[in-house]
Structure 1
């Protein structure tokens, strides 16, 4: 029997002012780890902003200390086995066996939704502070602009799980391929200053100036004609498609799920033995090693 989950908290906040819609991930106690409840709520919020003629530009934010620590792989609100009202034509993953379980789920909530948000015909700005890790990268990368605080950091450590990067595999488009290899092979944190140097970020500002900077940029964008913004975004996204972004992502998604299936066959665990705590510990160990010079 399929499970359903009632909305028990406002995991996503939504507000509109002066043509700017602000969508805020609101699980600060769990560093905005993305369970399905949050992902579907984000989808609802992006759809709401897209359909509102009063909205010219969209800001994506995370409440609390961190933008997003990634996919929820260990909080009490983890809901991987729960059915939601689906937004694509992919069938429900619940009660499916083997690799079909995650493949169907992630076609919907990760690859499918991220692609739809990226193609939304209004400019989007990610406002990033603190951690932007793994699944957090996906949410920032679908946005047209990324503005980060000077204490922000970025990482995709899932190669530790034997998995070739997160599902929305934009690494070689956000970074030079050689830098993307370093980013994935080492799994280390990249600070905001280097991320900007590598072309991933538009601006880096002190945390206290983050909100004001994003609002100022959003206000300038909101003064532009709606159709002009939509066509400009469509033209630039088209360039990425001509460069093979969609085809590359489809291939990486297939390899990602081969890795999940391999892990389950070898160890009985799709994530290669890593839960949220072990993954966080591995990241902290990397930071300590770097600080000690080892």
Structure 2
């Protein structure tokens, strides 16, 4: 099903590029069309010398409810031009090879690509930030959350150890990460602030202005200095095992998919968007 509106909007606000996910009728669930549109927008912003900072936001009532696992616009069988790595396409492959190739590209690979953008990125989060939505927020350097924002990675209900971009221990700390995954419960914006995952929490009506104000403060710094500072912090995280940890967790993620496909209804253990929402409630 074709989308009536662009799945990602791009606009300039002075030295800030505002990138907005635009599937509000589906809570900004991420299909591949959105993934590659986000990549286009981020590349455009990074290539524009007038842009100093990027703000990532979501249209409608929610930032993002995660990967698209059931909307009419789900496009898992479409073979987009690959950008995040040299793995082959998935559409003419079967079983675990197909799933691994696709998720290596559109999930893990894209998030790694975006995390390494040389320009600072501010996530402006409201409403649901769940599973794949967490991955998008976590590739950003700073997170501003509205008071109504909530965060969750409930995929353990599918028998899967967590989303593909598995940085939970680094952004939450090991014990909070375990509770977060073991229970699948929502974490409030205030709790996310307390554990250091979120930089600021503001009333919903102040979210956009606060995000843009923070972006403006960052934009006043020298571009190359910002790029080097970001790289220095990212390298420090990788020295703490983040990069190799992602590879290890990605393998466990696909072991879970394969196990589900063998003993359950499908690789998601028969769960869909509606059943996941019911379980959360």
The TM tier, using the shorter chain, reads over 0.9
Superposed, which structure 2 residues align to 1:278-293 within 5 Å? 278-284=275-281
Q: 1:155 — aligned with what?
A: 152
1:265 to 242, 256, 262: 262
Asked if 1:113 is matched to 2:117, the reply is: no
Q: CA deviation at 1:268?
A: 3.7
What's the TM-score once normalised by structure 1's chain length? Answer: 0.94
Superposed, which structure 2 residues align to 1:120-135 within 5 Å? 120-135=117-132
Q: 2:75 — aligned with what?
A: 79
SS of aligned partner of 1:282: helix
SS of aligned partner of 1:34: coil
Coordinate RMSD, CA, aligned = 1.0
Instruction: Quote the Cα distance in structure 2 between the aligned partners of 1:112 and 1:203.
Output: 28
SS of aligned partner of 1:29: helix
Asked if 1:59 is matched to 2:74, the reply is: no
Deviation digits for residues 32-91 of structure 1 (CA, Å, limit 9, x no counterpart) = 000001011001111111111110000000001000000000100011111111113111
Superposed, which structure 2 residues align to 1:27-106 within 5 Å? 27-87=23-83, 88-106=85-103
Instruction: Quote the Cα distance in structure 2 between the aligned partners of 1:172 and 1:16.
Output: 34
Return 5+ residue gaps in structure 1 as ranges.
285-294
Q: CA deviation at 1:102?
A: 0.9
Instruction: Quote the Cα distance in structure 2 between the aligned partners of 1:123 and 1:49.
Output: 11
Q: Which runs of 4+ in 1 moved over 4 A?
A: 5-8
Partners of 1:7 and 1:37 within 8 A in 2: no
Q: CA deviation at 1:8?
A: 5.6
SS of aligned partner of 1:125: strand
Return 5+ residue gaps in structure 2 as ranges.
none
